[in-house]
Every structure is written in C-alpha cells, then in structure tokens.
Amino acid sequence: MNVREETLLVVPGLGRDRLPLTIADCYGALREVTVLPKPMTSPGFHHHAAHLKRFAGCHGAKKVIAESFGASTVLHALSTPSHPFTHAVLIAPFCFDQPRQDIAEHLSTLLEAANAGGSEAISEFLLDTLNLTDRRRASARPWADETAEGLLRPGVSEVLAWLPFHCGVPSGHLDPTVRLLVIAQPGDHVHSLDVARRIAAASPRARLEIMPEPGGILLRTGALTGLISDFLAS
C-alpha cells in the first residue's frame, strides 16, 4: 500500500484530545484519525478496546499510536482476536498485566478534585507530581491546565474510579505478529519504567526506547517524531 493511502489511528491519554506530537507531517502525508474514549460506566478496558477496534476498522487503520490510558487500551486490543493492527507505538503506557494499585491514592486524590469540579486544584496537584526542574519549564503549566480540563470531561471520573484496580492484559499475552515500539521515561511514577519493560519483554517484535531524562517525551518531540516515523515506515 502506498504510504499516502495509509491511516494512522491516534489514541490520546485519558481526558486528552491529542498527542504532544504529530506524525503525519513527517511520515509522507500519512492521514491521522483520532479516537477518544467513550463515556462508559462499565469498569475495565474491554469495552474501550472494542470501541477502538470498531473505529480502526471503519477507517482502515492498521497502524496506531497511543499514550497512557490509550496505550493500555491498545494493548488490550492486541491481546484479542480479529484486531486490525500491524504496528503499534505505545507512549508512556499506564498498565499492562498487573493493576496499578501502587498509585491508587494518587488517582483517588485526582478523582476527588475532579468530582469537586476544580480544575485549578487538579492543575496544582499535577504540578506537584513533577520534579523541581520539570515544574519550572515553560511547558509545565499549559500541560497541567490542559490535562486538568480534560479530567473534568464527562465519563473521566468514572474511569479514574476503577483504573488502578484493572489491567490492560490480564494474561500478559500479546499478538506476536504485531510490531511494537514502547517509549518510556525515567522519573514518571504514574507511567513506570517497569510497565514499559514488561510490555517489551512480552513481545518478540517489541522495541523499547527510554528517554535519557525525566520529561524527555515532552522535551524531545522532534527526535521522537523521527523515531516513530521510521518505525511506522518499516
């Protein structure tokens, strides 16, 4: 298939409507389509993954790039039959084969702030999770404010309530034919390096890229765009 006829499915993180980088401009006018999680009260990744697969099928997307909650949803899809994907880029995946009860208290605090409807309180909480160097970056406040607004969207608080008690792939089994690029960064306790390493170890066609510094995913978008574009074109 000609690259210009391909469609890349984009799956942002929870409460977000875009990724911090754009691949289409670099990768031969690739067409990007974005799928957002539907507000769902049923706990677990199953329904979100089914929605993602239907959306990908409607748009003919065989390549996907996702972050955080979206990456874990993609992982669930890759553990089920009849998914359409050949390539998957997973940026800072939230969970894999084990629930993230280690950050249940963190998500509970976010949930309380979201239920109270206070975006400013959520922003301050998110900024407090960063180290001092990252908190002082010009991009920190816009990131926190945008994320806070997203966490107030309908259906997000319901997901936060069950998120630390479910995992994307309970079996730990992924389709071995899919090529995976897993991108992680140190110093991010919500998206831990252990999760990224376990994903990479579970697939024979996985490649793990760890940023050299905390916050590297936001700091090195130019380098990441090239890396991801090369991977998708392979």
In this predicted model, what pLDDT tens digit does every residue of 85-94 receive, in sequence order? 999 999 999 9
* pLDDT at res. 65: 92
Residue 17 clears pLDDT 80, i.e. is over it: no
Give the Cα-Cα-Cα angle 206, 211, 149 (nearest 5 degrees): 100
Residue 80 clears pLDDT 60, i.e. is over it: yes
* pLDDT at res. 99: 95
* pLDDT at res. 23: 61
Q: Where are the domains of the chain?
A: 3-100+168-233, 101-159
Task: Report strand pairing: 179-184 vs 206-210.
Answer: parallel
Most trustworthy range by pLDDT among 11-15, 69-73, 121-125: 69-73
Radius of gyration of the chain (CA): 17
Would you tell me which CATH number, out of the four given (1.10.3720.10, 3.40.50.300, 3.30.1280.10, 3.40.50.1820), belongs to the domain 3-100+168-233?
Answer: 3.40.50.1820
* pLDDT at res. 37: 62
* pLDDT at res. 14: 83
CA–CA gap between residue 195 and residue 206 (Å, rounded): 13
* pLDDT at res. 40: 60
Higher pLDDT, 152 or 117: 152
Segment 160-166 mean pLDDT: 91
Q: How much is the pTM?
A: 0.87
Tell me the pLDDT of the chain averaged across its residues: 84
